[in-house]
C-alpha cells in the first residue's frame, strides 16, 4: 500500500505523514472468523504460528540445490558498489546520497560537491553512518529522510525508523558540525509530518495525545513549535475534524522565499489546500479538492487536475499566482500543460526557472522542460530525449542552476543517471555496466483486450529463441494511481530482488502488466478500477494471462501472478476467482480481509480507494471479491507464497496470516515468510531482500513445472 499521495506530503517526498494506531494488544472477537487471533501482532500464540510456518517454508525451499547460489548472487547484485549514487537531495552546491552496500546495510548518508558529482568523479564524505549510529544507541535504525533548511542548509531534520516501520523519530542535525544538535528539536516515535517554518520554528503534525488523531489514526492538528519550548507549548495553526484523513504542513521553496501550505485531507483523494499569508492567516486556495499541488515556481502554484475544471480536461497542469491567492483575488487558472490520449503527466519538479515534467507516453517515460513567458503568460515546452521504452524518474535538482537529475532504465537497459539543463540535450552522469548479457533476451510491449474491451498494455521479457508455451510470471499492482513501469531485470518484480532475471534465465516469460487502477494513462485509468469498479483490475490481469495463452507464450495453469500491498489483494482476488487460470501466486505485504481492513493499522485511510465495508451498500460490492471471504472449501487454489513483515504498520500482518491459515486448513499449499523487521517495505537491508529473492525463485521452480530433486525427495 502506498503512503499518502504527493499532495499530502511535506516537501520531502518520502517522509511518512501518518501516525499508526495503537498496536492490537489482543485480538477482538469477530463472529464467524476462527482466525481472528492471528491479528494479535506480537501475541505469543500468533508468533508461534508464524515461526512454525516460517520454519516449514525455510526447510523446504532452502533445500533447493540452487538456493544458496541464488541468495549469494542476489546479495552481490544488491550490494554491488557500482550502483548509482543517486542525488537524493541537492543542497545548494552539495549533493547528498544514502549509500547502502554489504559493509553498510543500513546506509551511509554522505555528501559531495556538485561540480565533482556532475563530472562523474564525486569525492564523498560520510555525514551519518546509520549502522554505527544504531550500534552506538542500541537501536535498529532504518533511514527514512532528511529535510534541510534552505538557503544555507545547515540544519536538517533527520527521520529514523526503529526497525523499518513507517513511524519514525525526528531529530535535529547540524551539517556544519556533523552532530545532532544538543537540546535541539526532537519528536518522539510517530508518523509525524514536520516542516521548517524558519530556523527556530517547526510546523508539526503528530500525536498530541488523546483525541488528536483522526478516525483513520492520522494527525489532525498542526501546531507551530518554537525552539527552546516544550512541544506541549506549541501553538495551534489549524485543526481538522475527526472524520478527516489527516492534516499536514507543507513548505515549498521558490527562489529566495518559502511558501507555507496546510493540507486538510478529507479522504485519500480529496483535500483542502490552505496557504499561509504574510500575517499568518490561512487562505483557502482555489485548487479543487480532487487536485494535487505538484510544485511552486516563480510565485505560481502548479496544480494537477484529477477531474476536469470547466473546459480544462482531467490530467492537466494549471497554475495560479500565489500573490493573488494570498490576497483573496485568485481568478481563472493558467493552463500549463494538457494531456493527450497517450501521454500523461506523472511527475513534476520545479527548479528556479524551469518546470520539469516526466510524462508517460504509452507507459514509457519522457521528459519535458516547461518555461513561462512573463510577457504573454504562455507556457512552452521542450522535449528532452532520453531513451525509448524506459522507466524515467526525476531525482534531485540543483534549483539555482536549473539542472534536473533523471534516472533512466529498462528491463534490458542498466540504470543510468542523466542531468538535463535549461537548454540542450541531457548528458550522462553515471551509467552502470550491464549485470547480465542482454543480447540473450527480448522485451516487447503488447496489448491485451479486457472483458469490457479496454486495451491493457504489458511488457514481455523472454529469452531469444524460446518457443512457448513456457511458465510465465505476471507482476501487477492496479491501484492508487501508481503506474508500473519496466525496470532493469535485476530489480523485477518490485521488492523481489533479481527474481525476474532468474526467471527469464530459466527460459521462462516475465510480464509486467499495466492494469487499470494505476496511473499509466492518467486519472481515468485509475478511476476505471475504483471502488465498485474494482473488478476491472482483476479482469485486466486475467486478460493479460489469457493473451499469453492465446499467443502461445504460456498455458493455463502455468502462469504465476505476483503483487504486493494493493497488488497483494489483486493476487488474492485473482487466485480465488480464476484458480483454473493461474498456477501459483506470490502476495507481498498484502491486504486480504476486506471486511476488516478499515479497522486494521492504516486501513481506514483507503476507504476512498476500496469502499467502506461497514456500509452495506459498499460491502455489497466488496464481498464479491474480498479474497479472505471468497476462499471456499473443496476448491483447489494455486499454491501461494505470502511474504511480509511483523512490524508492518501500514498493512496489518493479520491479512496474510489469516489468508494463509484459511487456505492451509482447506487443504491448499501455502508457503509463508514473515520477516520480523522491515516495515511495509519488508526488508530493512539487502540481506533480507536476497533471501526473499532466493526463496521466491525456489517456490516458482517447485510449483511451476520446474520441479527437481530437493533434499533427496522428489517433490
Pick left, alpha or beta for residue 36 (phi over 0 → left; psi -120 to 50 → alpha; otherwise beta). alpha
The C-alpha atoms of residue 354 and residue 414 are separated, in whole angstroms, by 28
| Burial class, 599, CB count within 10 angstroms (exposed 0-12 / middle 13-18 / buried 19+) | middle
The C-alpha atoms of residue 339 and residue 345 are separated, in whole angstroms, by 7
Is 673 catalytic? The answer is no
The C-alpha atoms of residue 200 and residue 119 are separated, in whole angstroms, by 36
The C-alpha atoms of residue 273 and residue 264 are separated, in whole angstroms, by 6
Q: Angle CA(364)–CA(367)–CA(368) in degrees, nearest 5?
A: 135
Q: Annotated catalytic residue: which of 475, 526, 655, 680?
A: 680
| Helix%, strand%, coil% for the chain, nearest 5 | 25, 35, 45
On whether the CB atoms of residues 419 and 118 are closer than 8 A, the answer is: yes
> What is the H or E stretch that residue 526 is in?
helix 523-527
Residues facing 225 on adjacent strands: 202
Q: What is the DSSP code string of 206-269? A: S--STT-B-TTSSB-EEEEEETTS-GGGPEEEEE--TTSSEEEEEEEEETTEEEEEEEEESSSS
Q: Angle CA(385)–CA(388)–CA(390) in degrees, nearest 5?
A: 105
What cell numbers appear for 127 in the block? 555525514
Q: Could you tell me how far CA 675 lies from the centroid of its own chain? A: 19
The C-alpha atoms of residue 620 and residue 254 are separated, in whole angstroms, by 48
Is 565 catalytic? The answer is yes
Nearest alpha carbon to residue 590 among 576, 580, 582, 578: 576
The C-alpha atoms of residue 673 and residue 670 are separated, in whole angstroms, by 10
Residues facing 276 on adjacent strands: 282
What cell numbers appear for 93 in the block? 552546491
Angle between helices 67-79 and 686-703 (to 10 degrees): 140
On whether the CB atoms of residues 246 and 205 are closer than 8 A, the answer is: yes
On whether the CB atoms of residues 543 and 451 are closer than 8 A, the answer is: yes
Instruction: Check residue 359 and report its DSSP letter.
Output: E
Residue 59's contacts (CB-CB under 8 Å, 6 or more residues apart) are none
| Burial class, 527, CB count within 10 angstroms (exposed 0-12 / middle 13-18 / buried 19+) | middle
- Give me the helices (H) in 616-703, please: 616-622, 654-665, 686-703
Would you say how long the chain is, in residues? 715
Q: Angle CA(45)–CA(49)–CA(53) in degrees, nearest 5?
A: 170
The C-alpha atoms of residue 4 and residue 520 are separated, in whole angstroms, by 18
Peptide bond into 469 cis (omega under 30): yes
Q: Annotated catalytic residue: which of 192, 565, 589, 681?
A: 565
Peptide bond into 269 cis (omega under 30): no
Residue 467's contacts (CB-CB under 8 Å, 6 or more residues apart) are none
Cite the active site residues.
565, 680
Amino acid at each position: 500500500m502506498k503512503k499518502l499521495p504527493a499532495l499530502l506530503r511535506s516537501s520531502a517526498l518520502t517522509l511518512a505523514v501518518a501516525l499508526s494506531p495503537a498496536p492490537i494488544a489482543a485480538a477482538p472477537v469477530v463472529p464467524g472468523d476462527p482466525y481472528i487471533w492471528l491479528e494479535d501482532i506480537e501475541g505469543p500464540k500468533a508468533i508461534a504460528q508464524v515461526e512454525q510456518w516460517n520454519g516449514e517454508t525455510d526447510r523446504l525451499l532452502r533445500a533447493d540445490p540452487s538456493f544458496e547460489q541464488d541468495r549469494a548472487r542476489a546479495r552481490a547484485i544488491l550490494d554491488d558498489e557500482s550502483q548509482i549514487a543517486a542525488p537524493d537531495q541537492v543542497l545548494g552546491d552539495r549533493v547528498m546520497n544514502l549509500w547502502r552496500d554489504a559493509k553498510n546495510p543500513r546506509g551511509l548518508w554522505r555528501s559531495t560537491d556538485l561540480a565533482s558529482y556532475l563530472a562523474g568523479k564525486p569525492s564523498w564524505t560520510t555525514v551519518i553512518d546509520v549502522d554505527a549510529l544504531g550500534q552506538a544507541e542500541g537501536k535498529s535504525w532504518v533511514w527514512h529522510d532528511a529535510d534541510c533548511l534552505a538557503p544555507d542548509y545547515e540544519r536538517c531534520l533527520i527521520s529514523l525508523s526503529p526497525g523499518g516501520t513507517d513511524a519514525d523519530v525526528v531529530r535535529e542535525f547540524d551539517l556544519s558540525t556533523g552532530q545532532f544538535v544538543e537540546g535541539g528539536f526532537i519528536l518522539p516515535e510517530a508518523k509525524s509530518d514536520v516542516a521548517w517554518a524558519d530556523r527556530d520554528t517547526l510546523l508539526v503534525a503528530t500525536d498530541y495525545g488523546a483525541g488528536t488523531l483522526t478516525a483513520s489514526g492520522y494527525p489532525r492538528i498542526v501546531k507551530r513549535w518554537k525552539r527552546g519550548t516544550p512541544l506541549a507549548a506549541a501553538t495551534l495553526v489549524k485543526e481538522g475534524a475527526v472524520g478527516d484523513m489527516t492534516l499536514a504542513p507543507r513548505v515549498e521553496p521558490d527562489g529566495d522565499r518559502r511558501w507555507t501550505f496546510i493540507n486538510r485531507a478529507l479522504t485519500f483523494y480529496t483535500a483542502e489546500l490552505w496557504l499561509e499569508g504574510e500575517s499568518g492567516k490561512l487562505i483557502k486556495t482555489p485548487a479543487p479538492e480532487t487536485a494535487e499541488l505538484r510544485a511552486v515556481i516563480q510565485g505560481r502554484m502548479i496544480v494537477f487536475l484529477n477531474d476536469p475544471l470547466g473546459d480544462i480536461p482531467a490530467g492537466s497542469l494549471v497554475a495560479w499566482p500565489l500573490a493573488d491567492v494570498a490576497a483573496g483575488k485568485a481568478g481563472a487558472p493558467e493552463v500549463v500543460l494538457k494531456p493527450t490520449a497517450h501521454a500523461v503527466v506523472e511527475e513534476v519538479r520545479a527548479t528556479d526557472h524551469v518546470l520539469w515534467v516526466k510524462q508517460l507516453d504509452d507507459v514509457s517515460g519522457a521528459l519535458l522542460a516547461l518555461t513561462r513567458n512573463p510577457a504573454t503568460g504562455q507556457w512552452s515546452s521542450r522535449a528532452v530525449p532520453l531513451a525509448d521504452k524506459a522507466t524515467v524518474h526525476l531525482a534531485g535538482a540543483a534549483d539555482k542552476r536549473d539542472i534536473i537529475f533523471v534516472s533512466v532504465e529498462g528491463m534490458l537497459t542498466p540504470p543510468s543517471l542523466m542531468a538535463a539543463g535549461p537548454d540542450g540535450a541531457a548528458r550522462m552522469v553515471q551509467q552502470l555496466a550491464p549485470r547480465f548479457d542482454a543480447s540473450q533476451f527480448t522485451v516487447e510491449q503488447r496489448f491485451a483486450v479486457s472483458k469490457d474491451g479496454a486495451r491493457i498494455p504489458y511488457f514481455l521479457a523472454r529469452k531469444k529463441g524460446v518457443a512457448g508455451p513456457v511458465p510465465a510470471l505476471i507482476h501487477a499492482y492496479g491501484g492508487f494511481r501508481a503506474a508500473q513501469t519496466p525496470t532493469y531485470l535485476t530489480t523485477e518484480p518490485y521488492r523481489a530482488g533479481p527474481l525476474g532475471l532468474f526467471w527469464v534465465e530459466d527460459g521462462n516469460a516475465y510480464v509486467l502488466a499495466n492494469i487499470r487502477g494505476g496511473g499509466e494513462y492518467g486519472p481515468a485509468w485509475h478511476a476505471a478500477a475504483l471502488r465498485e469498479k474494482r473488478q476491472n483490475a482483476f479482469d485486466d490481469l486475467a486478460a493479460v494471462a489469457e493473451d499469453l495463452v492465446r499467443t502461445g507464450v504460456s498455458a493455463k495453469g502455468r502462469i504465476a501472478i505476483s503483487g504486493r500491498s494493493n497488488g497483494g489483494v489483486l493476487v488474492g482476488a485473482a487466485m480465488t476467482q480464476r484458480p483454473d487460470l493461474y498456477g501459483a501466486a506470490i502476495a507481498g505485504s498484502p491486504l486480504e480481509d476486506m471486511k476488516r481492513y478499515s479497522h486494521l493499522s492504516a486501513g481506514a485511510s483507503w476507504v476512498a480507494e476500496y469502499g467502506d465495508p461497514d456500509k452495506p451498500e459498499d460491502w455489497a460490492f466488496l464481498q464479491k471479491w474480498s479474497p479472505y471471504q471468497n476462499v471456499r472449501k473443496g476448491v483447489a487454489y494455486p499454491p501461494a507464497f505470502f511474504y511480509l513483515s511483523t512490524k508492518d504498520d501500514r498493512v496489518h500482518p493479520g491479512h496474510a496470516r489469516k489468508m494463509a491459515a484459511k487456505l492451509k486448513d482447506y487443504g491448499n499449499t501455502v508457503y509463508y515468510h514473515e520477516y520480523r523487521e522491515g516495515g511495509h517495505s519488508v526488508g530493512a537491508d539487502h540481506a533480507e531482500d536476497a533471501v526473499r529473492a532466493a526463496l521466491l525463485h525456489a517456490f516458482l521452480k517447485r510449483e511451476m513445472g520446474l520441479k527437481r530433486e530437493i533434499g533427496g525427495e522428489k517433490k
